[in-house]
Amino acid sequence: MQFDDRQFRDFLTEKDIHALVDDLANKINADYGMNDRILLVGVLKGAFVVMADLLRRLHSDVEVDFVRTASYGKSNTSCGTITMLKDIGVDVRDRHVIIVEEIIDSGRTLKYLYERLKGANPLSLKIATLLDKRSKRVVKIDADYVGRVVDDQFLIGYGLDLEEKCRNLPAIYALKYPN
Ligand code: IMP
Ligand code: MG
């Protein structure tokens, strides 16, 4: 498979992805009651695809909101700083908040969001991610719900972008030759 002159190989089929989302949803459904008010907070842009699939599998009362961050500095050094481009617009004090990511890499984005949301005193605060590049972590943060731990490789599709493109691919592909 080729996108923008770069070669990709199949990584996760639509079926694989749906099995991972089922698994995430089953774990979340097991942990929350039908009357719990869950607020899913998706991290734009990448997480909107998994959010849409995850929320339709949840049994509790679910509301959604989104945040958008930007990171400055090289993503592979520890000096990357995160700023907020779009904050949540909901009072979280009576909500069980679950931050939803499509992938965790260095963990900087999530660490920042976690601390920020924690400061707003939600009833509880957890993290769900479809994919986890655990070996790339530079700050200490772990997700409570993880679809799959993956090796360090560049992935596209199902919300994951290649310079803003390819988010619409229903399956996930891995770059063959890192450049
Ligand atoms: P972190 O702050 O380094 O954990 O950055 C995580 C964010 O980087 C994810 O939410 C994605 O938007 C992006 N990202 C990380 N790895 C990939 C990848 O393999 N493909 C596309 N985007 C990625
Ligand atoms: Mg993201």
pLDDT at 179 (0 to 100): 58
Nearest by Cα to 12 from 163, 162, 150: 150
pLDDT at 84 (0 to 100): 92
* pLDDT, tens digit, 9 for 90 and up, residues 17-37: 999 999 999 999 999 999 999
pLDDT at 127 (0 to 100): 98
What tokens does 23 get? 């698994």
Kindly report the length of the chain: 179
Report the nearest-CA residue for atom 21 of ligand 1: 160
pLDDT at 54 (0 to 100): 98
Ligand 1 pocket test, pick from 12, 77, 105 with the greatest ligand atom count within 8 Å of Cβ, gives: 105
pLDDT at 74 (0 to 100): 55
Q: Is the pLDDT of residue 137 over 70?
A: yes
Mean pLDDT of 153-163: 97
Mean pLDDT of 148-175: 97
Report the nearest-CA residue for atom 9 of ligand 1: 103
Ligand nearest to the CA of 103: 1
The answer to whether 151 and 133 are in contact (CB under 8 A) is yes
More confident residue, 148 or 70: 148
Ligand nearest to the CA of 113: 1
Which atom of ligand 1 has the smallest separation from the CA of 133?
16
Percent of the chain clearing pLDDT 90 (strictly above): 87
**Mean pLDDT taken over the chain:** 94
Mean pLDDT of 33-52: 96
Strand order in the sheet with 96-104: 81-86, 61-72, 37-44, 96-104, 124-132, 145-149
More confident residue, 77 or 16: 16
pLDDT at 62 (0 to 100): 96
Residue 152 falls in the annotated catalytic set: no
Domains of the chain: 14-153 (3.40.50.2020)
pLDDT at 71 (0 to 100): 82
Which atom of ligand 1 has the smallest separation from the CA of 112?
2
Distance CA 112, CA 83 (A): 9
CA of 40 to the centre of ligand 2 (A): 14
- pTM above the 0.85 mark? yes
Distance CA 99, CA 66 (A): 9
CA of 100 to the centre of ligand 2 (A): 9
The shares of helix, strand and coil residues in the chain, as percent rounded to the nearest 5, are 20, 40, 40
